[in-house]
Structures are given as C-alpha cells and as structure tokens.
Amino acid sequence: MQASHEIIYEVSPGEIVDRTKFLWNQQRYLIENIKLADTKAGFVMTISAAVLSASLSPGGRLSFHLSKLSSVRSYFGTILFVVGLVALIASTLFSAWSIKPRLRTSAPASPVSWVNLARYKTPQAFRDANRAMTEGHAADLLCEQVYYMARICVQKHHLISTSILLALSGGFLVAAAIAIR
C-alpha cells in the first residue's frame, strides 16, 4: 500500500487543485486558531501577573503571612498563599511558553512553509525551487505544513488550558489564604 502523500499524484489535475484549496483552507483555519490561542495566552498571562503583583505589593498580604506564623491558622494560610503564588507564577510561564514561536524543524528548505522558506540562501534559490515544483509536490508540501501547524495548535491549547487551570487555582488559593487570616 502506498503512503497517503503518494496518492495525490494519481488524481487528475482538477482534483489536485480541489485538495490544494482544501489544504489552504485548513491552513487559514489553523492560523486563526493559533492567533486566538496567542490572544488567550496573553490575557491569562496578564491576569496572572496582575494577581501575582497585587499579592506581592506592599499593600498585599505576603508580609503578614510570613511574619505571623504563631498559630496553625496562620501557618495554613501561609502555605495556601505560597502555593497560590507558585501556581500564579507557573500560569504566567505556561502562557508565555505557549506564545513562544516554534521555529525549529528538521524539514529541508521548501517553498511553502515560512520557516523552511527562510532556509534558502538567496531569493533566486527560492524562485528556482518554486518554478521547479509541480502541483502535486506543492500539495504535498502544503499538507506537511498543515500537519505541523495542527501539532503546534494542539500544543498551544494544551499549554493554555494548563495555564488557565493554574491561574484559577492560584487566584483561589491566594484569596483563601487572605480570607483565613
């Protein structure tokens, strides 16, 4: 049985165009999804950093929790506070990591992927590769790019989901610690 990327060469030119159009639509969908993920990550990072800053500000409760550990209630509140701060810091880091561009790839230079496109030494080398490419080969390269973009999208959403969970948990723990005081 042939690999799926080889099957595209066995279809008519019209079918290749339809498949290429489908892949371009998939790519646009993934680009929009990645933009939304980056926006969510920025929002979560801002909220986490704001709660973290408010908690550590001179008017915040950190000095109270660290200076009065005489009672069990105070000790428990301090533990909640510190765990909440760690969760907020982790949330901020997970959000930042999800926004970080993914520029590493082991694929060779290709005229479709912007990351791989930058591997051409000159504009002429890119033009030559683009002219030599068949429609079937272009569809294959686009298919690979869509696949890698989908993987990036999944990773981003996983990191953002974790960041949101950590932000909510951290905020709740800090609020609980302040309420216990």
For the chain, the domains span 13-180
Tokens of 44: 């979560």
Measured distance CA(91)–CA(33) in Å, rounded: 21
84 phi, psi to nearest 5 deg: -60, -45
Both tokens assigned to 33: 């999804």
CA distance 171 to 181: 16
For the stretch 37-55, pLDDT in tens is 889 999 999 999 888 888 8
- The model's pTM is 0.70
CA distance 42 to 93: 11
* Overall size of the chain counted in residues: 181
pLDDT digits over 111-161, tens only? 455 666 777 788 888 888 878 888 778 778 788 888 888 888 889 999 999
